[in-house]
Chain A
Amino acid sequence: MPFDFEFAKSILPHLLEASVITIAATFVSFAIALVIGLFLALGLRSRFALVRRGIWGATQFIRSTPLLVQLYFLFFVLPEIGITMPPFLTGVIGLGAHYSCYIAEVYRAGLESVPKGQWEAAVALNYGRSRAMTEIILPQAIPPMIPVLANYMITMFKDTPVMASITVIELMQTANIIASERFLYVEPMTLVGLIFLALSLVASFGVRLIEGRLVR
């Protein structure tokens, strides 16, 4: 097998360093997705039909079109209208915005999973709207969302290499650069694959642990 372990060993530190960027990109975009997703979910419950429809349509559009092209769009069009950002920022905003459309749905489903009777009971006990929300509804709605959200984070992690296409030097792009310098592809690409596999397996295992705890 043409796999040079010495070479692999020599590039591994670079790749591990680069995975820090990948992981950072994952966390930052996930945070962005959580926040934008919240606004979208609120918008989907708006009193105004126009707002609801508009947001619904936009989320459907974003969910049906490729992240790659959305990143190109941000990367090339934003500077034209005078917004210049480092590629990393463009990347995490794009990835975060893309997944916020999925996460809005998680929030909605989570809230709807709490039986109506819980609201009614809270009203009967004379809780105010906001106290009913924070003390009765959210504590029931949030735990089941956590594993679902965590799984989206893992999915986002596996989408970070797309940022390489807008010149973000994350894990895969680092491997690509190393590989094309010496025209040795086997080791860098295989290592990147293994790093992704290891990290996602660990993360999935973690999610399963959390899930087991929450379900009990």
Chain B
Amino acid sequence: MSPIITLRDVRKTFGPLVVLDGLNMEVQRGEKVALIGPSGSGKSTVLRTIMTLETIDGGEIEIDGESLWHMKRGSRVVPANEAHLRRMRSKVGMVFQQFNLFPHWTVLKNVMNPVRTVLGLPEPEARARAEELIALVGLQDKVNQYPGRLSGGQQQRVAIARALAFRPKVMLFDEVTSALDPELVGEVLNVLRMLAHEHDLTMIMVTHQMGFAREISDRILFFEHGRIAEEGTPEKVFNCPTNDRTRAFLTAVRQA
């Protein structure tokens, strides 16, 4: 089967700064991939370009075999319009480091309203779906709370439920535990562990939790200067990295 996500020669710059430098990357259906690497190496940018939060300056991104930023009109290929982007986005969900829950809505509404508005689900169905997911992340007793009253770990679990409510094929996680107090990291990782058992769900995670990356991912991508400097199974990358930079990075992380 074709990969669910393909990046071909992707270039992204911010002014003079080259953030993604001819990046090539493939993710297979159902694969769990962890992106690691030093700060500023472009990990978040990769996720953000896949989510269309950033445009790209060159190359090609394909989701589910279809170009993200281009579409066919007749026999010609033209830049994607909003309708195309919306169709492509519906395959992908994203969870942010800063949660980004909507503070003016309760937990239930945060999960239920987007699927009502965007997918047009009728209220009862949206509510049932939301309640099920909120229970899945263990927050059934918080459904009517406002996000401001939840701990960071609880907010992040709601954010995961909110993204899952769309039943995306691909989930993007950008350092979802980095903004949390240490004692709250575990509860969020447990939710991710649970999702990792979902055979069909593709997960791409940026993380600084090496142990966790090793535990649940099928493949590790080590980023450096907007390219993949090394990739392979967790055993290979963590136990016998071939790249000096990977080795140095892993040593530094272990010492921290």
Query: Do A and B touch, yes or no (CB under 8 Å, in the complex)?
Result: no
The chain B residues found within 8 Å of chain A, CB to CB, are none
